[in-house]
Structure 1
Amino acid sequence: MFLSFGSFLALLAAGAPMVFVLGVAGALTLAITGATPLVVVAQRLYNGLDSFPLMAIPFFVLAGLIMEQGGIARAMVGLATALVGWIRGSLFMVATVTATGLSAISGSGSADTAAISSILLPEMRKRGYDIDYAAAVVASAGSLGPIIPPSIIMVVLAMISDLSVGAMFLGGIIPGLIAAAGLMVGHWLYARREPERYSDAEPFSWPRLGSAFIAAIPALTMPLIVVVGIIGGVVTPTEAAVLAVVAGLIIGLFVYREIKLSDLPAMMLRTAGISSAVMIIIGTASIFSWLVAVQDVPQMIAAWFSTHVGSPAMFLLAVNILLLIVGMFMESISALLILMPVLMPIAISLGIDPLHFGVVVAINLSIGLITPPYGICLFVACTVAQRSVMQVSRVIWIPLIPLILMLILSTYVPQVVLWLPQTLM
C-alpha cells in the first residue's frame, strides 16, 4: 500500500501527467513486489475500457463540438437573451441560462464554457463589464454541464458504481436548476453594486421572446432527444449520444447552416483527441484502482471511518471537504476513478443511498471545474477573456457561494436528489 501511494504522490509532485501517474504507479508496484505478473497491467487497462456505456463519451464530445460550431449555441443565447435580458447585469443572466440549456446537450463543462465564452465574453468586454468577473460567470455557468443531464462524469460514475445512468441523470436535474437559480441571484446582487455599469438591460417583449423561441426550436430538439430518450428508457446513453450527433449535424448543416461537410474531419479529429485523453485516463486509473482494491485499502479506510467518523452526516461532510480539495488539483475523471471504489462501499455501509451519494460526488467534482489552480472551465474562460487565472481567481469565490450552498442542500436533504428518480423510475 505504501509503495503504491508513495509512487503515486512522488509522480504527482514531480508534475507528471495524470495518465502516467496512474499507470506507472500501478505498474511500478507490481514490478517491485513481484506478487502479480505484469501482464495484469495490460489486462486491467483493456478491462477498464471494455464497456459499452463508455462509448457515449466520444459521441457527447462530438455533439458538444457540433453545438459550439453549428449555430446551436448562438440560437440558445438568443433565446436566453429574450428570456432574461431585461434583468440588471443581463449578460450574466444570459450566460447562466444558456449554459443550463447547453448542459442538456454536451455533458461537458469545458465544451459549454468554450461555446458561451466565444459568444458572450467579447460582448461583455464591449459593454464595459468587469472582465474578470465576466470570466468567472462564464466558468461557473459551464460547471453546470456535469450536473444537468446528460453528464460524462455521471456516465463514468454510474459505470464504476453499478448505478442506473438514467437515475443518475434524473438525480442531477433539481440540484442543477437550484444551482442555476442561485448563480443568477448572486450575479444580480453583484450587478446591483454598480447600477450604472450594468444598466444594459432591455425591456421584456413577448413578440421578441416568441421569435427567439421559434428560432431556437431546432436547437431545443437536441436536449429533448437526449434527456427524454434516456429517462423514458427508449434509448441507452450511448444511443442517445449518437442521436444527438445526428440531430446536431442535421441542424447545423441544413437548418442554421453554420457548419459545412468540409468542417467534419477537423471536428472528428478534435473529438478523437479529447476522447482519447479521457479514455486513456480511465484505462490507467483502472490499474491503480484494482491495485488499491486488492490491497484492502477500502476496508482499512472503512475501519478508520467507523472508528473516527461514525455518523453518515459526518462522513458526508468529510467526503465533501476531501473532494473539494481534490478538485482543486486533480482532473475530475481521474479523481472519480481513484476515489469512488474506496468511498462508495463506505457510504453504503453507513446506510447512505448510493444514488444520492453518487450525485453528491458528481456535484463536488463539477465545482472542482472552477476552483483554482486546476479548474478546466476556469482555464477556458480565462483564455478567451485574455486574463490570467490569478486575476479571475480573485472574484471566483462569488459564484462559488451558491454552488457550495446547493452542495450542502443536496448533501443533507437527500430528496433534492432522489425525488425525481423515485417519482419517474
Structure 2
Amino acid sequence: MLVIAIAFVALLVLGVPVVFVLGASAVIALVTTTDVPVAIVSQRVFAGLNSFTLMAIPFFVFAGVIMDAGGISRRIVEFASALIGWMVGSLYQVSCLAAAGLAAISGSGSADTAAISAIMQPQLRRRGYDVDFGAALIACAGSIAQVIPPSLTMVILAVVSNVSIGALFIAGVLPGLLCIIMLMIVAYLQARRGGAAYRETEPFTFARLRRTGWAALPAAGMPVLILGGILGGVFTPTEAAAVSGFYGLLVGLFVYGDLKVRQLPNLILRTASLSSAVMLIIGTAAVFSWLIANANVPAMLGAWIISVSTSQLVFLIIANLLFLFVGMFLETIAAILIIVPVLAPIAAQMGVDPIHFSLLVILNCAIGTVTPPYGVSLFVASSVAGRPVLSVSRRLVWPLAGLFTILIAVTIIPDLSLFLPRLVGLID
C-alpha cells in the first residue's frame, strides 16, 4: 500500500495525466510488492469496462454534444431571461436559471459553464456588472450539472457503488434545485448592493415569455423523456441515454434546423473522443481500486473511523472533508473511482443509505470542480470571461458558501435526497 501511495503522489507531482497515474502506480505496486503476473492488469481493465450500464456514457455525451450544436443553449437562456429578466441583478439570475435548464440536458458541468459564459459574459460587461463575480457564479451554477439529472457523474458513481441509476437521478433533483435557488439568493444579495447597473431590468411581458417558452419547449422534452421513461418502466437508464441521443438529433435537425447533416461526422468524433477519455480512466482506475481492495484498505480505514466514532454523522463529515480535499486536486471521475470503493463499504457498515451517501459524493464532486487549484469549471469560466483565475477565485467566497450550506443540509437531513426516490417507489 505504501508503494502505490508513493508512486501515485510522485507521478501526480511530476504532472503526469491522471489516467496514466492510476495505471502506472498500480503496475509499479504490482511488480514490486506482489507475485501476481502483470497480465492481470489487462484483465482488470477489461473487467472494469465490462458493464452494460457504462454504455450510457457515450449516449449521454452524444446527446449533450448534439443539443449544444443544435442551438439549445441559446434558447434556454432566452427563456430564462424572459421569465426572470425583471429581477434585481437579472443577468446573474438568468445565468443560474439557465444553468439548471442546461443541466437537465447535457449532464456536463464544464460544457454548461462554457455555454452560459459565452452567452452571458458579453451582456455582463455591457451592463456594467462585476465580471469576476459573474464568472464565479456561473462556474458554481454550471457545476450543478453533476447533481441535476441526467448526469454522467451519476452514471459512473452508480456503477462503482452498485446503486440504481434511476434512484440516484431522482435523488439529485431536490438538492440540485436547492443549490440553484441558493445561488440565486446569493446573486440577489450581491446585486442589491451593487448600484443602479443591477437594477436596469427588462420589462416582463407574457408575449415574450410565450414566444421563448415555445422555442425552448423541445429542449424541455429531453429531461421529461429521460426521467419519465425510467420512472414509467418504459426503458432502462442505459436505453434512456440512447433515446435521448436520438431525440436530440431529431430536435437539432428537424425542429430547430440549427444542426446540419454535414456536422454529424465531427460531432460523432467529438463524442468518441470525450467518451474514450472517460472509459480509459475507468479502466485504469479498476486496476488501482482492485489493488487497494486487496491491500484491505477499506477494512483498515473503517476500523480507524469506528475507533474515532460510531456516529453516522461523524463518518459523513469525515467523508465530506476527504472528498472536498481530494476534489481540489483530482478530476471528478478519478476521485470517485479511487475513493468511493474505499468509503462505500464503510458507509454500508455504518448503516448509511447508499443513495444518500452517493448523493453526498456527487455534491462534493460538483463543489470540487469549482475549488482551486484544479477546479475545471473555474478555469473554464475564467477563460471565457478573459479574467485571471486568481481574480475570479477571490469572488468565489459567497457562491461557495451557498453550495456548502446545501451540502451541510443534505448531510444532516437525509430526506432531502431520499424523499423523492421514496415517493416514486424506487427505494424503501
Q: Could you list the runs of 5+ residues in structure 2 that have no partner in the other structure?
A: none
Task: Report what 1:70 is aligned to.
Answer: 70
Task: Report what 2:109 is aligned to.
Answer: 109
C-alpha displacement at 1:399, in angstroms? 0.8
Task: Report what 2:214 is aligned to.
Answer: 214
Task: Report what 2:292 is aligned to.
Answer: 292
Task: Report what 1:368 is aligned to.
Answer: 368
The one-letter amino acid of 2:117's match is S
The one-letter amino acid of 1:161's match is S
Task: Report what 1:341 is aligned to.
Answer: 341
CA–CA separation in structure 1 for the residues paired with 2:58 and 2:14? 30
Per-residue Cα deviation, 1:232-286 (whole angstroms, up to 9, x for no partner): 2222222212211111111111221112111111112221221111111111000
**Could you tell me whether the CA contact under 8 Å between 2:102 and 2:112 is conserved in 1?**
yes
Moved more, 110-119 or 230-239: 230-239
The one-letter amino acid of 1:285's match is A
Task: Report what 2:196 is aligned to.
Answer: 196
CA–CA separation in structure 2 for the residues paired with 1:287 and 1:415? 35
C-alpha displacement at 1:17, in angstroms? 0.7
**Could you tell me whether the CA contact under 8 Å between 2:183 and 2:402 is conserved in 1?**
yes
Q: Could you list the runs of 5+ residues in structure 1 that have no partner in the other structure?
A: none
The one-letter amino acid of 2:42's match is A
C-alpha displacement at 1:126, in angstroms? 2.1
Per-residue Cα deviation, 1:181-203 (whole angstroms, up to 9, x for no partner): 00000000000111212122212
Aligned length: 425
Task: Report what 1:38 is aligned to.
Answer: 38
Amino-acid identity (%): 51
CA–CA separation in structure 2 for the residues paired with 1:297 and 1:148? 32
CA–CA separation in structure 1 for the residues paired with 2:104 and 2:4? 39
CA–CA separation in structure 2 for the residues paired with 1:91 and 1:267? 30
Moved more, 119-128 or 337-346: 119-128
C-alpha displacement at 1:205, in angstroms? 1.8
Per-residue Cα deviation, 1:295-348 (whole angstroms, up to 9, x for no partner): 101000011111113211111111111111111110010000111111011111
Task: Report what 2:323 is aligned to.
Answer: 323
Task: Report what 2:161 is aligned to.
Answer: 161
Task: Report what 1:233 is aligned to.
Answer: 233
CA–CA separation in structure 2 for the residues paired with 1:388 and 1:267? 31
C-alpha displacement at 1:230, in angstroms? 2.0
Moved more, 153-162 or 223-232: 223-232
Task: Report what 1:185 is aligned to.
Answer: 185
CA–CA separation in structure 2 for the residues paired with 1:152 and 1:91? 28
C-alpha displacement at 1:54, in angstroms? 1.1
Moved more, 348-357 or 222-231: 222-231
CA–CA separation in structure 2 for the residues paired with 1:416 and 1:255? 37
CA–CA separation in structure 2 for the residues paired with 1:245 and 1:53? 16
Task: Report what 1:253 is aligned to.
Answer: 253
The one-letter amino acid of 1:205's match is T
**Could you tell me whether the CA contact under 8 Å between 1:105 and 1:226 is conserved in 2?**
no
SS in 1 for 2:198: coil
Please, what TM-score do these two structures have when normalized by structure 1?
Answer: 0.98
**Could you tell me whether the CA contact under 8 Å between 1:167 and 1:355 is conserved in 2?**
yes
Task: Report what 1:11 is aligned to.
Answer: 11
Per-residue Cα deviation, 1:179-233 (whole angstroms, up to 9, x for no partner): 1100000000000111212122212222221222111111111111122222322
CA–CA separation in structure 2 for the residues paired with 1:109 and 1:298? 30
C-alpha displacement at 1:138, in angstroms? 1.3
Which residues in structure 2 correspond to 1:18-167 (within 5 Å)?
18-167=18-167
Moved more, 43-52 or 63-72: 63-72
CA–CA separation in structure 2 for the residues paired with 1:156 and 1:101? 22
C-alpha displacement at 1:174, in angstroms? 0.5
The one-letter amino acid of 1:359's match is L
C-alpha displacement at 1:131, in angstroms? 1.3
SS in 2 for 1:194: coil
C-alpha displacement at 1:34, in angstroms? 3.8
Please, what TM-score do these two structures have when normalized by structure 2?
Answer: 0.97
CA–CA separation in structure 1 for the residues paired with 2:267 and 2:116? 18
Moved more, 286-295 or 27-36: 27-36
Per-residue Cα deviation, 1:9-60 (whole angstroms, up to 9, x for no partner): 1111221110111000111111112421111100011111111111111221
CA–CA separation in structure 1 for the residues paired with 2:305 and 2:72? 47
The one-letter amino acid of 2:273's match is G
The one-letter amino acid of 1:173's match is V
**Could you tell me whether the CA contact under 8 Å between 2:218 and 2:251 is conserved in 1?**
yes
CA–CA separation in structure 2 for the residues paired with 1:195 and 1:229? 47
C-alpha displacement at 1:114, in angstroms? 1.8
The one-letter amino acid of 1:145's match is A
CA–CA separation in structure 1 for the residues paired with 2:236 and 2:64? 18
**Could you tell me whether the CA contact under 8 Å between 2:105 and 2:219 is conserved in 1?**
no
CA–CA separation in structure 1 for the residues paired with 2:392 and 2:164? 37
The one-letter amino acid of 1:89's match is G
**Could you tell me whether the CA contact under 8 Å between 2:175 and 2:417 is conserved in 1?**
yes
**Could you tell me whether the CA contact under 8 Å between 1:298 and 1:343 is conserved in 2?**
yes
CA–CA separation in structure 1 for the residues paired with 2:52 and 2:13? 34
**Could you tell me whether the CA contact under 8 Å between 1:64 and 1:112 is conserved in 2?**
no
Task: Report what 1:381 is aligned to.
Answer: 381
The one-letter amino acid of 2:23's match is G
CA–CA separation in structure 1 for the residues paired with 2:95 and 2:81? 9
CA–CA separation in structure 1 for the residues paired with 2:380 and 2:256? 26
SS in 1 for 2:383: helix
**Could you tell me whether the CA contact under 8 Å between 2:154 and 2:362 is conserved in 1?**
yes
